[in-house]
Amino acid sequence: MWFQCQKGIQFNFESLCGKLKKKIFKINGNNYKTKDGTTIRDYIHVQDLARIHLLAANQVLNKKIFKIFNCGYGNGFSVMEILKKFNSISNRKIKFKIGKRRDSDIIISIADPKELVKFTKWKPKFNNLSLIVKSSLNWYKKSRLNN
């Protein structure tokens, strides 16, 4: 599962799920000006993102209006918060290491979904970090069984 954030920033929850197999998860920098030093992103569940696309497509087709929106919930979580949540929900301890900070990384990227909500009447269903992580872990487990 890929989650697309503002400005093309991506976070692959599958890679974090895969780290449950004793591989090491790399965090790129812990010296950003955030509460725990790691970057902050507005993670959105893939089903909410798909729903946004359907609602927006209906508006474009019905009203012939095209707009660009930021997709997200309007709040952010740090990479370290995500890692801790995965550890908590999976009842495991994912090993991690701190890598070098990347110059191109944006420190904080949080969407403002007000215009999106106004245009599409979208109501999030998965805007809870625990739901996103549980869903990602379940998807990963199911996909591993089918391969």
At 16-40, the pLDDT tens digits run 555 556 578 899 999 999 999 999 9
**Which CATH superfamily is 2-142 part of?**
UDP-galactose 4-epimerase, domain 1 (3.90.25.10)
Pairing of the two strands 25-28 and 40-41? unpaired
pTM for the model: 0.79
Question: 10-43 in b/e burial notation, b at 16+ Cβ within 10 A?
Answer: ebebeebbebbeeeebebebbebebeebbbbbbb
Structure tokens at 130: 């625990």
Residue 78 main-chain phi, psi, to 5 deg: -80, 160
Segment 34-79, tens digit of pLDDT: 999 999 999 999 999 999 999 999 988 898 888 888 899 999 999 9
CB-CB contact of 44 with 83 (8 Å)? no
Angle in degrees, CA 112, 128, 84, rounded to 5 = 110
